[in-house]
A and B are shown apart, each in its own frame.
Chain A
Amino acid sequence: MIPEIGHFALIIAFCLAFVQTLVPLLGAQTHTAQWMAVAKPAARGQLLFIAISYACLTYSFIIDDFSVLYVANNSNTALPLHYKVSAVWGAHEGSLLLWVLMLGIWTVAVTVFSSSLPRDMVARVLGVMGFVSVGFLLFTLLTSNPFERIFPTPAEGRDLNPLLQDPGLVIHPPMLYMGYVGFSVAFAFAIAALLGGKLDSIWARWSRPWVISAWVSLTIGITLGSWWAYHELGWGGWWFWDPVENASFMPWLVGTALVHSLAVTDKRSSLKNWTVLLAILAFSLSLLGTFLVRSGVLVSVHAFATDPARGLYILIFLAVVVGGSLILYAIRAPYIKSSGQFEIFSRETALLINNVLLLVATLTILVGTLYPLFVSALNLPSLSVGKPYFDLVFSALTLPLVLVVGIGPFMRWKSTPINQVSKRLLKIAAIGLAIGLVLPVMVAGRNTILVTLGAALGAWSIMSAVYYLFKNIRLTEHGTHILHRIRKIPHAIWGMSVAHLGVGVFVLGVTFVSAFEQVRELPMQVGQEAELSGYLFRFDGVRDVQGPNYFSKQASVRVSKNGEPVALLLPEKRTYLVQQNPMTEAGIDSGFLRDVYVALGEQIDDRTWGMRLYYKPFVQWIWLGAMLMAAGGVLAASDRRYRLKLKRRRKAEAQDFHEQQVTAVS
């Protein structure tokens, strides 16, 4: 009964989404107030019924209702409760339900925080979001119904994919989806602005916190995925350029560009066309990401659906959304006037360079990801584009980007006297270069040109961010207490500095771990010792461990350095009872400056096991840097100028004036 209620609620949600699309959009076009007013209640009602549907599916998981096909395929009585709850999004059907739930939440958030916007704008935004929802709900109902029953009811479920039974992976998909779906808000705003023909900087100011929030979620989602791969796959890697990883990374890159170009449109009213295009692209790539992952077109660990009907549906939907919005853009874009002019040395140009580099990076990744697909579609010999391509292309584009990250904040809007800025920045650059030369020698006792470059750029962007903050503190309300001045600094400035600091931390981490990591693969006998980068690994043996739904071989490896004990690592090889897949759980001792990492291989004889040992300097900085970027986003989105009602815009303008002054004094 419960699953049927869920199914029925989903159908009602679909009907409401349909109403939410059609009536307000027509109302906005014909200026009919009553029709426009339908948007809000329809959106809220839709969320209510999706939530009911979602709750029904979760309930079926909790009570082990294996008469529901989806539950039978993805759960088991022995599965711990928290994994039962997260198993709802463990495969295709449920994750779609999560997608529409997220979309519903974002839509209702828009209805709550849009009281200061013009009525027709709100109606159009909600209408466009309703349209996206219609597409996904119809897809779920027609091709991927999570409430389908099976008869006879199996006595036991087939269990959740063991790969997904990890705390990191419990939160990874929802965060990722929050980000993907969040870009739909910016998309809806862009389309609404194009439809209404009114594109002013209020539109940009309005979209900014939404875009930043979506971007933060996506950042956290991707970081968690990378962190999970590092822990769970036993290969010690943190990014594989797997097509599905790329699928989530491309919207992130375009989203990052969008965050920056919105700043230009908001503050200076220029680059409007470009910003609108980026908003369309960011969401299109989110849809493409969903398409690539869900259709099973790409071969990957993540691709669990391989039904051609689904692929076809998403392809058509994608064509309608992306094609439709690009056509609308092509018709309307020539009429959008950008007012602000700027010169070559200006903050606008710096942000523009940032945008171009990010977009170009996205394009090269898109080419590398889709090229093998095109080739196989043309029946040419099958080929693959591997990690070296992406490593080369991406680092070649990222290094100049990091250079601009350090310069941008010091540039003034409109035009910057270059010699004023350059004196200070050259000093920072010189110190950065010195750090680039010395730090690698301190870390690993050697250095190369590429490592110097990476370390110098990392240090450069950290120092420039810190210096920018410092300068702001110094220039705020002279003569007052330092803590008071720190509190007075707008969150936007904190946010930008923290995020740019994160970029530097990330670059340092990537540089050091890829240049100086050490790995040893060897067979180890019980009692044997092995040395790696000054750490001594002693293998004490393997014991059997019984988990709730798996049994495991757990090795015990004692790590010491210069005779001092460092850590006891317990790498495991798990075999899950139902799916019988062996899974590696690495034993890791994480530190601020290095990780030591042990993965257990196969058993060679009674007393000997294959072992993989890693020494990974600065690897935690990769995720630390990414989390700092996310924290910066949270700070920036919480800036008070976004919370001001339009009536009180004067205050916000005063704040703009403050920022202008701060940059002017530099």
Chain B
Amino acid sequence: MIFTVVLLVGLSCAVALALYAMRQNIMLFHTPSEVVTGEVPGNRLFRLGGLVVAGSVIKADDGLTTDFGLTDLNQSITVRYTGLLPDLFREGQGIVAQGVLNEEGVFVAQEVLAKHDENYMPPEVAASLKEYRDSLPGSMAEYGYEAP
């Protein structure tokens, strides 16, 4: 008897807690194209994924802030990140950034994720590229991008 009551109370607390925490802390993934067409609500934390545009990486004078373009081969968005970038961050690579869009349309990243494998492409990024890869005149490598 005690057993069942304790278990049920525990389970319902868990469900309530999980739902509450989920609502607060789920992050959607978006592509640069979705951001440009305005499908993404402002002032909300989300994940942006794509390829780092070759030749787009600019270091600010403070030595820590980096601006770079992120593209899904269709549209591109400027991403700004202050801090040390991960070891494997480089031009042409597939990365995922986590942050918010500011009023100027710059994605201010709080975190940049690049995985520890030179041949790794985040699956969301790989999927988003599929759509536009074929419309690209020439191979991805000609543009300095790593193929998924």
Contacts and interface: CB of A to CB of B under 8 A. Distances in A.
A610 B13 CA distance: 46
Interface in A360-399: 360, 363-364, 367-368, 371, 381-386, 388-389, 392-393, 396-397
Given A234-B87, A521-B83, A579-B118, A360 B11 contact: yes
Contacts of B17: 364, 392-393, 396-397
Interface residues of B, number: 39
Contacts of B63: 522-523, 604, 608, 610
A601 B88 contact: no
A582 interface: yes
A381 B6 contact: no
What is the predominant secondary structure among interface residues of chain A facing chain B?
A: mixed
Contacts of A371: 22
A237 B79 CA distance: 24
Interface stretch (A349-357, A497-505, A588-596): A349-357
A557 to B, nearest CB: 15
Nearest to A601: B84
B43 interface: no
A601 to B, nearest CB: 4
Given A352-B2, A393-B21, A581-B118, A363 B14 contact: yes
B10 interface: yes
A349 B18 CA distance: 25
Given A360-B11, A579-B118, A602-B85, A352 B6 contact: yes
Given A367-B18, A601-B84, A299 B25 contact: no
A384 B118 contact: no
Contacts of B123: 299
Contact of A392 (B21, B29, B62): B21
A344 B3 CA distance: 10
A601 B11 CA distance: 45
Given A521-B64, A522-B64, A299 B10 contact: no
Interface string B50-88: 000000000100111000000000000000001111011
Nearest to A372: B26
Contacts of B127: 382
A44 interface: no
B115 interface: yes
B27 interface: yes
B84 A383 contact: no
B138 to A, nearest CB: 26
A368 B17 CA distance: 12
A523 B82 CA distance: 11
Contact of A573 (B82, B83, B87): B87
Contact of B6 (A353, A368, A602): A353
Contacts of B27: 383-386
Interface residues of A, number: 51
A163 interface: yes
Interface in B79-109: 82-85, 87-88, 98
A364 B25 CA distance: 13
A368 B87 contact: no
Contact of A582 (B64, B83, B87): B87
Contact of B2 (A349, A383, A396): A349
Contacts of A612: 83-84
A141 interface: no
B118 A360 contact: no
Interface in A274-299: 274, 299
B146 interface: no
B36 interface: no
Contacts of A601: 84-85
Interface string A547-581: 00000000000000000000000000100000111
Contacts of A163: 116
A385 B23 CA distance: 10
B18 A382 contact: no
A584 interface: yes
Contacts of A102: none
B47 interface: yes
A389 B21 contact: yes
A301 interface: yes
A359 interface: yes
A80 to B, nearest CB: 21
Contacts of A599: 84
Contacts of A385: 22, 25-27
A301 B116 contact: yes
Contact of B88 (A360, A381, A581): A581
Interface in A598-625: 599, 601-602, 604, 608, 610-612
Contacts of A384: 26-27, 29, 47
A271 interface: yes
A583 B10 CA distance: 44
B65 to A, nearest CB: 10
B135 interface: no
Interface string B13-50: 11001100110111111000000000000000001000
Interface string A523-536: 10000000000000
B133 to A, nearest CB: 18
A581 B64 CA distance: 22
Contacts of B88: 581-582
Contact of A521 (B6, B9, B14, B84): B84
Contacts of B9: 356
A383 B21 CA distance: 15
A367 B14 CA distance: 10
B122 interface: yes
Select the residue from B27, B63, B82 with max chain A CB neighbours within 10 A: B63
A375 B21 CA distance: 17
Contacts of A342: 2
B16 to A, nearest CB: 10
Contacts of A364: 14, 17-18, 21
Nearest to B13: A360
B142 interface: no
Contacts of A383: 26-29
Nearest to A338: B3
Nearest to A384: B27
A584 to B, nearest CB: 6
Given A163-B116, A357-B10, A604-B59, A583 B25 contact: no
Given A363-B14, A383-B26, A384-B27, 11 more contacts: A271-B3, A299-B122, A349-B2, A360-B11, A383-B29, A385-B27, A386-B27, A392-B21, A523-B64, A584-B87, A608-B63
Interface of B: 2-3, 6-7, 9-11, 13-14, 17-18, 21-22, 24-29, 47, 59, 62-64, 82-85, 87-88, 98, 115-118, 122-124, 127
8 contacts: A299-B123, A352-B2, A360-B13, A383-B29, A385-B26, A388-B25, A522-B63, A581-B116
**6 tightest A-B CB contacts, nearest first:** A523-B63, A601-B84, A356-B10, A389-B25, A360-B14, A582-B87
